[in-house]
Amino acid sequence: MQHKIEQFTQHQAEFSAGLHQLETLDKEIDRQNKIILALDNEIAEFEEQGKATNGQALPDSELFMKYYSKEREARDKRAGVRQFIKQLQHNRECLTLDLSETKRRLIHAHSDLVESAGEKIIDEITTQICQPLANALQAISLSEGFKADLRNRENILRKNIDPLDFILTLFMQKLEQKGVKLLNQKDPSILVYKLDFEQLDKIPDISPIKAQQLRQALKQGE
């Protein structure tokens, strides 16, 4: 059980860290895109200034070359920023694929943990209630009130009802109604190991086959 708790905790930490890294990448991509917009404005301004210089009665070649040089410098800088954004987007796609795999492992670890905890608790409860339950079922089945109620139900439904099956059905309904409360009281620590579905929804569900295809495409595009 401890091993499963450690696995879940590890996958949860990996997913949270990866998600934080993804958010950091998104912010950086957004920042670089704003730099692109600023450079676009600079380039347009240098172009206009260069045209205005050429359009003068006495063109100033030195001033024109100054604006032209600044324009080329801004264009080169913009090209570098675009290349950087391309690399950031590539990293983001790779990280998203990694997170989709971590997401699958996290969900599986959570299911395994809760299932194991539930089985352990149910085994303990079953051991404790088996004999008292058998005694109670026998007492109920032999009571005149139960027999009368069962006959009335058979008359209404116009079919025979197995007494033991009927009692067990009622018992399971009651158990289901109180099951979650009972489990929480038995082992409140289970509530600590829960999934953050808001975080999980930030990462798309990608099948292993599809993820492999996407990774291959990313490698070919490098």
The three-state secondary structure class of 159 is: coil
Reading the chain (222 residues) residue by residue, the pLDDT tens digits are 788 888 889 999 999 999 999 999 999 999 999 999 999 999 999 888 877 776 554 556 778 788 888 999 999 999 999 999 999 999 999 999 999 999 999 999 988 887 777 667 666 767 777 787 778 777 877 788 888 887 888 888 788 888 778 877 877 777 766 665 555 555 556 556 788 889 999 999 999 899 999 988 988 876
CA distance 168 to 146: 13
Of 105, 94, 101, 95, give the one whose Cα is nearest residue 195.
105
The structural domains of the chain, with segments of one domain joined by +, span: 2-220
CA distance 145 to 107: 49
Q: Which two tokens stand for residue 49?
A: 């200034």
* pTM, full prediction: 0.63
Helix, strand, coil content of the chain in percent (nearest 5): 90, 0, 10
Q: Nearest 5 degrees, angle CA 193-CA 198-CA 199?
A: 75
